[in-house]
Amino acid sequence: MGAGHAAAVHGSLYRPGDSPVHRLPAQCKILSACGFMLVVAATPAAPAWAFACHAALLAAVTAAARLPAGTVLRRLAIELPFVAFALLLPFVARGPRVDVLGLPLSEPGLRDAGTLLAKGTLGVAASVLLASTTGLRDLLLGLRRLRVPALLVQIAAFMIRYGDVVADEMRRMRVARESRGHTARGVRHWRVLAVSAGALFIRAYERGERVHLAMVSRGYTGTLPDTGGVTGAAGASRAQWACAALLPLAALAVRLTTEGVPL
């Protein structure tokens, strides 16, 4: 199997391994990650040590999966736009003001920003761990095992399959612009980029129409053939379900220690 084919099957975020986390069926890991995120979302802003405990749980999963901590931290960079938004809250929120390094900041804004950063970072980290230990095909099969509507699974499969195609089209359009002497350097070039984005949307839509017509002409009736689908997805034993439940249950135990604290 070539590197390109492997990336298409497993995804660029997947890191092959033989750890206990890698060996868990995808449906177990999906429910475990979702349960953990729900508990984190329900954790109140105070006390702060609760979020530290949640982070320690994810660190333990990272160690069990034998993932390099640096890799996980680098992949957390995807949340930088949300970090920027959170950092603005202390400046724009109302309420009592406190001086921080000579700047008058909103006290409720500081608290909300800290809570948003903590919950967002933990949620993204859980997603990164799931993507790093589960191939894309396994994720889709796991969703089918969990009885997610088939149409949603098909949409996700097509997004994964044709994401690289659209990205290649975008790269070709960029090369075409640069070969004609255009280089985006400021706000005055945003109009050209907006036109390019519109053209990319139209091309992707037209390609989708052609793909759909090709599928219909080959007998597509709304359901993809099951080539090792649900029957090919590994079932989960009680021991595996119990192992996957450790993360959300431990997070729930931390949450219960904060019972009585408002969200």
Tens of pLDDT, residue by residue over 35-52, are 999 999 988 877 888 899
The rounded distance, in Å, linking the Cα atoms of 33 and 24 is 13
Poorest-pLDDT segment among 2-16, 153-167, 192-206: 2-16
Quote the pLDDT of residue 234: 56
Model pLDDT, residue 199: 85
Q: How far is C-alpha 253 from the geometric centre of its chain's CA atoms?
A: 25
Residue 187, burial from CB neighbour count under 10 angstroms (0-12, 13-18, 19+): exposed
Tell me: pLDDT of 153 over 90: no
At 232, the pLDDT band (50, 70, 90 cuts) reads very low
Q: What is the spatial distance between Cα 155 and Cα 144, in angstroms, rounded to a whole number?
A: 13
pLDDT in tens, 7-32: 444 456 788 888 999 999 999 999 99
Q: 43-52, 86-95, 246-255 — which is least confidently predicted?
A: 86-95
Q: Could you state, in order of their start, the residue ranges of all structural domains in the chain?
A: 13-140+236-258, 148-216
- Number of continuous H segments (helices) and E segments (strands) in the chain: 11, 2
Q: What is the pTM of this model?
A: 0.74
pLDDT in tens, 53-78: 999 999 999 999 999 888 888 888 88
